Each structure stands twice: as structure tokens, then as C-alpha cells.
């Protein structure tokens, strides 16, 4: 089966700024389910084995999209590096939800897409964003979370919070790139002014889409209890735990092997089975 790849498509968003997306799909005359991958904190579309994951989804008969949030620190000119730390520091949940909406609006118009079959796959913080968007946008039929958070209130607490408020910025070291990544206080202000909207628990309870919650039992970044909690909040969801898998299901940056890591391959196979069962063959 021939797979078409279109990379670094510019997606405009008047509320934020231009950003990039990649699409992978099989050559066919049939309209295809739209599957959109939403990256997490310090993530980007070309990280690790996400490209191999995209190919596997396309081979399974889906129109697969991965994209960079407009303020994730990458740029249209340099999508592979955190070349714009100022943008990273000015990111917030409102911008990410706006970008995700722009991605959906852009690709549902594609002639190869079946706009009645839309699935979001959110990793880590992208899981929280995907849960909220699924509740807000009735076009979304399927929601899959990978190592997702169960709350977006993941800000510094107590003295660290007071220091952040006073200084207006705090920094987190990126272990891989060794960059000091800024977080401006506007992030919390954006959250606080729309706290009801950003309530992941409420959105998970009320989302109408078919929901699959996937998590590794050895996740070092987001405790597996987050997945168990999401499953309890939405009893119609399916919980799928992968023994000993870490936060990125065995993937890392750079990923220089031609095959998916074993745990991520298990994730993709489960996702494909779920989408076929709940969305395609419903």
C-alpha cells in the first residue's frame, strides 16, 4: 500500500500564529477517518518515534495528522528545535485549544477525510487538552489518551508559586537540550480566568465520544493513578494499562531505529483496534 506523506504544511491561526502539521494517509478512493495526534509539554510533532507511529496509522487506513502547537517553542522555519523560547514561555492552554480547533477545521475540509469520523489522540498534557476539546467539539467521535494528566492545574505550589508570581517567570531545565525553558506568569493568569473551561475532570465526565485511556505502569512523569482516575470519571471509557511502560512508551529523542519500540507498537495496535471497533465499524 502506498502511503502519502505531506510534511510541514503551514496551518494559519489568527488567534495565535502560523504553525506546522504533517499528514500521512494511504492512497485510496475511500474517505478516511481523521486521526489527530496532540503532543504534550516540551513535545513536538517530529519527536522520537512519532513519525513511525504516523506511518503505522496510515497503513491501517487512517488520515493521520500530527502538528506543532504554535507556541511550543519550535518555529515554522525550525520545527526540530526549541528555537523560540520566548514563545514557549508565552504558551498557555487557551492557545493550545485554539490551535487544535484550527487543525480540525483545516483537515475536515480535505476531500480524503470522512468528517463524520474524527479521533483525537493526546499524549501527556496533550491528553488533557484533547479531553477538553472533545467535550467542547461535538464533531469528535473518538478520544484516546496516552499517559495523560487528569488535571491541567500543574503549576508550582506554595513558596515556589509566590516566587513565580513575584518574578513573573520560572525556568525548567530541558534535560535533553540543556536549555532553560521559561514559563511566564501569564500561563497561570490564563488558567485562572477560565478555570471552569480548563477543568479536565468535568470535561472527562461529560464528554460524549468513545474514550480509550492508555497508560504505562512505570510512567515516571505522570502517575498511572491519573489514568485510573480518568477511567472512573468516565465509566464508559476503556482503560488499557501497559506493564512496565514509561511515559513515552519506550520512545526517545532521537529515535534512530527503523521500528517502533515494543510498548509504543502495542499502543498503536490497541488504538487501531479501538478506532475500528468503535468508530469505523460502529
The mean per-residue pLDDT over the stretch 228-232 comes to: 98
Is 108 part of any domain? Answer: yes
Percent of the chain residues topping a pLDDT of 90 = 99
Q: What is the CA radius of gyration of the chain?
A: 18
Percent of the chain residues topping a pLDDT of 70 = 100
pLDDT at 1 over 90: no
3-class DSSP assignment, residue 133: helix
Mean pLDDT across the chain: 98
Contact criterion met (CB below 8 Å) for 114 and 25: no
- pTM equals 0.99
Is 181 part of any domain? Answer: no
Distance of CA 100 to the CA centre of its chain: 9
Non-local (6+) Cβ contacts of 138 within 8 A are 208
What is the count of structural domains for the chain? 1
93-138 pLDDT, tens digit each: 999 999 999 999 999 999 999 999 999 999 999 999 999 999 999 9
CA dist 201 and 199 (Å) reads: 6
Q: What is the model's pLDDT at position 282?
A: 78
Q: What is the CATH number of the domain that holds 41?
A: 3.40.50.1820
Copy the grid coordinates of residue 269: 495496535
21-40 pLDDT, tens digit each: 999 999 999 999 999 999 99
CA dist 216 and 206 (Å) reads: 25
Copy the grid coordinates of residue 49: 518515534
Is 219 part of any domain? Answer: yes
Is 169 part of any domain? Answer: no
Is 85 part of any domain? Answer: yes
Is 215 part of any domain? Answer: yes
Determine the length of the chain. 282
Amino acid at each position: 500500500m502506498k502511503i502519502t506523506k505531506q510534511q510541514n504544511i503551514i496551518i494559519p491561526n489568527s488567534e495565535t500564529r502560523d504553525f506546522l502539521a504533517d499528514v500521512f494517509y494511504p492512497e485510496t478512493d475511500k474517505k478516511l477517518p481523521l486521526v489527530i495526534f496532540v503532543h504534550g509539554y516540551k513535545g513536538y510533532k517530529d519527536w522520537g518515534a512519532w513519525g513511525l507511529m504516523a506511518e503505522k496509522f496510515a497503513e491501517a487506513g487512517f488520515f493521520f495528522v500530527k502538528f506543532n502547537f504554535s507556541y511550543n517553542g519550535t518555529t515554522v522555519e525550525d520545527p526540530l528545535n526549541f528555537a523560540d523560547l520566548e514563545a514557549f514561555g508565552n504558551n498557555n492552554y487557551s492557545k493550545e485549544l485554539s490551535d487544535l480547533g484550527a487543525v480540525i477545521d483545516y483537515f475536515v475540509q480535505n476531500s480524503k477525510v470522512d468528517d463524520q469520523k474524527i479521533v483525537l489522540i493526546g499524549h501527556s498534557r496533550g491528553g488533557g487538552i484533547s479531553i477538553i476539546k472533545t467535550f467542547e467539539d461535538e464533531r469528535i467521535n473518538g478520544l484516546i489518551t496516552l499517559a495523560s494528566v487528569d488535571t491541567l492545574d500543574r503549576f508550582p505550589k506554595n513558596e515556589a508559586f509566590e516566587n513565580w508570581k513575584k518574578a513573573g517567570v520560572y525556568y525548567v531545565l530541558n534535560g535533553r537540550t540543556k536549555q532553560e525553558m521559561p514559563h511566564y506568569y501569564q500561563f497561570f493568569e490564563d488558567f485562572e480566568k477560565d478555570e471552569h473551561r480548563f477543568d479536565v475532570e468535568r470535561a472527562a465526565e461529560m464528554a460524549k465520544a468513545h474514550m480509550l485511556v492508555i497508560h504505562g505502569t512505570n510512567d515516571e512523569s505522570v502517575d498511572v493513578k491519573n489514568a485510573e482516575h480518568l477511567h472512573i470519571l468516565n465509566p464508559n471509557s476503556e482503560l488499557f494499562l501497559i506493564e512496565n511502560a514509561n511515559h513515552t512508551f519506550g520512545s526517545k529523542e532521537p529515535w534512530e531505529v527503523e521500528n517502533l519500540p515494543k510498548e509504543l507498537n502495542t499502543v498503536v495496535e490497541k488504538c487501531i483496534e479501538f478506532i475500528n471497533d468503535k468508530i469505523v465499524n460502529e
